[in-house]
Amino acid sequence: MATEFFLGQVTQVFLKSDDGNATKAVSSQQIDIQSLDSILPTTGKPLSASPLIRGISDSITKGDLVLFTILTDGQVYYIGPINSFNNPNNSSNPVFTSNRTNRGFSDLEILSSNGYGAGYPYVNQPKLIKQRSVDLDNLKTEDVYNTAKFTDMLFEGRHGNSIRIGSRSTNPSLIISNGNTLPIETPMEGSVIGMLSNGSIEQNFFSDKIGREKDIQFFRVSTDSIFENINPRYQIGIGNSIFGSANTDIESLDTIYKFSEDTDDDVEILLDQILITSDRLIFNSRSNVGDISISSGRNINLGAAVNFTLNNQGQSVINSGNIYLGEKARDKKEPMVLGDELRALLLKFAEILQDSRALVQGVPIPLYDRESGTPMFNRIQALITELTPQPDGERPNSDTGVYKDSVTKFLSKKHFIEQNTRSDNEG
């Protein structure tokens, strides 16, 4: 026995089982339908219908067109809404007229004569398209392109959110977009997660000129923004060297991530990559035993257009072959000072001063202050006391990580650097 489908219009939508508008037991995604097929004996009364496909339910609202069927058990099932206008925000009846008041539509507030309620959040949301990309599709001629082109699988919401399961040539891509107003996904508005297997970000998102209708130029991360207030000196990746080279000539450094293709054999655009972009990003490991781990086979680049802060209640450990404060520090002209080594050196210097004597007619006498005429011994002794390690002062407290009794004020009790055990590293 063949299953027939009929055309209907939604007259009521139920969001949950205890929906206050329900006149009988309902469940989520259940709807009331008014049949538009005059041959059905049920034309004059609403039908209660459930989604036909288990686990997949499209967004639906009062006034949408659907296809429904009545199975042998008398249960009504629907598919839809129907793509009546090829617009993700509008699936209404294109021939709706207000004279259907005697057929169950008397309570509809007409909006543009389409059967949608006046409070329905209608926007002119364009349906997503697939732009042509000669480079990524590998379809070089018009004839080949017209015979071999194919669409992507699209899941589109009503208000600019979508999932694209697509590909370019044989290279798959997955793009999740939210808050988009254009017929293409763009990393310049809303939120986008793009999983790309070939090509640059520019090639995947701006293969035609549609993305520039809103003065959208080439995508850049915020640190590398093309805006005038951003200093190019702090572009993301500045300071990376090629294969560990210490050369600081910026032109010879592999510093800047390539958002567009430079050459046909550019390695970076042939890699799989994931783009996550939005106005605000939050990564939070909620469990008290959970971690966030970031690992890279080459470089990890962090950048901020304004400030970069790191806050934690425990320890901060930077375990690195070399640490440079400032990109030009890679010239290795100004090494950092080791506090204990400096303290020991100053202590030796103070002890030398204390043991120094002047010779007056062959008789050694202590050094005296030139202005006061008092011996320098007490002042030098106070300096020696300050520079001399106190009991347990050479070792950090294992519980607190600070010096217990040190009175040497220029030695930090919170921050430490390692000794010269890795100074020959040129990485």
Domains, the chain, with CATH or none: 1-123 (2.40.50.640), 125-331 (no CATH), 337-418 (no CATH)
Q: Quote the CA–CA distance of 49 and 317 in Å, as a whole number.
A: 61
Q: Which residues contact 221 (CB under 8 A, 6 or more apart)?
A: 236, 257, 303
- What are the φ and ψ backbone dihedral angles of 34, each rounded to 5 degrees? -105, 120
Instruction: Classify strands 161-168 and 171-178 as parallel, antiparallel or unpaired.
Output: antiparallel
Q: What is the pLDDT of residue 252?
A: 40
pTM of the model: 0.77
Distance of alpha carbon 278 from the chain centroid: 6
Burial of 360 (0-12, 13-18, 19+ CB in 10 A): exposed
Q: Quote the CA–CA distance of 407 and 393 in Å, as a whole number.
A: 9
Instruction: Classify strands 47-51 and 31-35 as parallel, antiparallel or unpaired.
Output: antiparallel
Q: How many residues does the chain have?
A: 427
Question: Hey, CA dihedral for 387, 393, 396, 397, is it positive or negative?
Answer: negative
E strand or H helix at 194: strand 191-196
For 217-225, the CB contacts below 8 A with 24+ separation are 218/259, 218/260, 219/187, 219/188, 219/259, 219/277, 220/259, 221/257, 221/303, 222/303, 222/304, 222/305, 223/303, 223/304, 223/305, 224/256, 224/257, 224/303, 225/305
E strand or H helix at 34: strand 31-35
Alpha helices by DSSP H, listed for 94-183, are 134-137, 142-148
Q: What is the pLDDT of residue 213?
A: 47
User: Could you tell me the two tokens for 160?
Assistant: 């600019």
What residues in the chain have per-residue pLDDT under 50? Answer: 99, 101-104, 108-110, 211-216, 243-253, 263-265, 393-394, 397-404, 427
Q: What is the pLDDT of residue 313?
A: 87
Distance of alpha carbon 185 from the chain centroid: 15
Q: Which residues contact 420 (CB under 8 A, 6 or more apart)?
A: 338
Q: What is the pLDDT of residue 218?
A: 65
Q: What is the pLDDT of residue 241?
A: 63
Q: Which amino acid is at 397?
A: N
The answer to whether the beta carbons of residues 16 and 74 sit under 8 Å apart is: no
Q: Quote the CA–CA distance of 260 and 133 in Å, as a whole number.
A: 14
The answer to whether the beta carbons of residues 186 and 179 sit under 8 Å apart is: no
Instruction: Classify strands 47-51 and 76-79 as parallel, antiparallel or unpaired.
Output: parallel
The answer to whether the beta carbons of residues 14 and 28 sit under 8 Å apart is: yes
Ordered DSSP codes for 269-332: GGS-EEEEE-S-------STT-------SS------SS------SS------S---SSGGGGG-
In this structure, what DSSP letter does residue 128 have?
Answer: P
Q: Is 112 left (phi over 0), alpha (psi -120 to 50) or beta?
A: left
User: Could you tell me the two tokens for 51?
Assistant: 């989604």
Residue carrying the six token digits 């990524």: 136
